[in-house]
Amino acid sequence: MKIVKGKTYRIKGIHPYFKRKYGTDNPKFEVHGTDIEFWDKSWGLMQGNPCAMLFGMRMGLEGKSIEEVDKEIVWIGHILPSGLAECALESELEEIDVK
């Protein structure tokens, strides 16, 4: 699947972080760009950035190492309808079936 900026996807899988924060494991995620495109550097170099810090903590809680995360594309976007910024791995995103 090719991720397209400006398109809305859904977070797939079971994520206690999203469930606790948004009331669902699978919130809608509007993509704004990769971490490199959006911040001009990797999420891991964004010292003091709440979005990047929460992403790092979430990855650790989900048992993913920095090496595993760095093998994937990290996308920046907003959770709909809340508008709160989040980071998500490309493998966490799925297309929404619009009928």
List, as one string, the DSSP characters of 8-52: EEEE-S--HHHHHHHSSSS-EEEEEEEHHHHHSS-GGG-TT-HHH
Is 2 a member of any domain?
Answer: no
Query: Stretch 31-49: mean pLDDT, rounded?
Result: 95
Q: Is the Cβ–Cβ distance between 53 and 17 less than 8 Å?
A: no
- Kindly report the pTM of this predicted structure: 0.91
Q: Is the Cβ–Cβ distance between 82 and 22 less than 8 Å?
A: yes
Phi and psi for 37 in degrees, rounded to 5?
A: -65, -45
Is 42 a member of any domain?
Answer: yes
Q: Which domain holds residue 69?
A: 8-95
Q: Residues 17-27: pLDDT tens digits?
A: 999 999 999 99
Token digits of residue 11: 């977070």
Query: Stretch 68-75: mean pLDDT, rounded?
Result: 95
Is 3 a member of any domain?
Answer: no
Count up the domains in the chain and report the number. Answer: 1
Model confidence at 99: pLDDT above 70: no
